Amino acid sequence: MLEFLVQNSRSLQLLTQFLGITLALTALLYWYGTRSFAILKKINLPGPKPHAFLGNFPEIQKAGGEHEYFLKTAQKYGKCFTTCFGNTIGVVVGDPDILKVIMLKEFSNFRNRYNFIPEFTHIHPLHFSMVFAKDERWKRIRGTLTPTFTSAKLKQITELTEDIVDTLEKKVKKIADKGRK
């Protein structure tokens, strides 16, 4: 009988250790999946609550894509809100006045954007484009391109652009009419 109790107490001890380790690993895994979300409380912007590891991807999928998700979320939370792509936190700004400040006056403080290309593919050609460039490369490209898009220069090409768009519209309409016959 004593032998039976000793064996059962060892089994109970092993089971307790196993459950303790499992609980600790689960807690560590949950912390790892949600650790970046702590900043959401500090920045004090509204937004949907993200899921561990997934962020707001389930809501994006449920809405039918990012565009629909952003429209629905903006209706609910206003023109500025947070959203999470996995563990990456994003701030969505839909207010033109705030965007003007960010894009013109404070662009050096807001130069990095969410990048869907994995970091280990730093030789990917898109990393050299303005959309995906980061840090100093982005600042250099932005500084080079900014003088190109002044309002005076954009007005000069407006007439030319309108002529090209009219020509394209006529060609597309002609092709569409052929398809209807």
**Domain membership flag for residue 57:** yes
**Domain membership flag for residue 146:** no
Q: Under 8 Å CB-to-CB from 22, ≥6 apart: which residues?
A: none
d(C-alpha 72, C-alpha 120), whole Å: 34
**By mean pLDDT, which of 42-56, 82-96, 106-120, 154-168 is the weakest?**
106-120
The pLDDT score that the predictor gives to residue 5 is: 53
**Domain membership flag for residue 156:** no
Q: Under 8 Å CB-to-CB from 113, ≥6 apart: which residues?
A: 131, 132
The pLDDT score that the predictor gives to residue 181 is: 58
- Are the CB atoms for 45 and 81 separated by under 8 Å? yes
| Range with top average pLDDT, 20-24, 104-108, 113-117 | 20-24
Name 53's bridge partners: none
Residue range 88-111: mean pLDDT, rounded: 81
Report the domain count for the chain: 1
Percentage helix, strand, coil for the chain under 3-state DSSP, each rounded to 5: 70, 10, 25
Domain that holds residue 28: 2-106
Higher pLDDT: 111 or 106? It is 106
**Domain membership flag for residue 161:** no
> Could you tell me the pTM of the whole model?
0.57
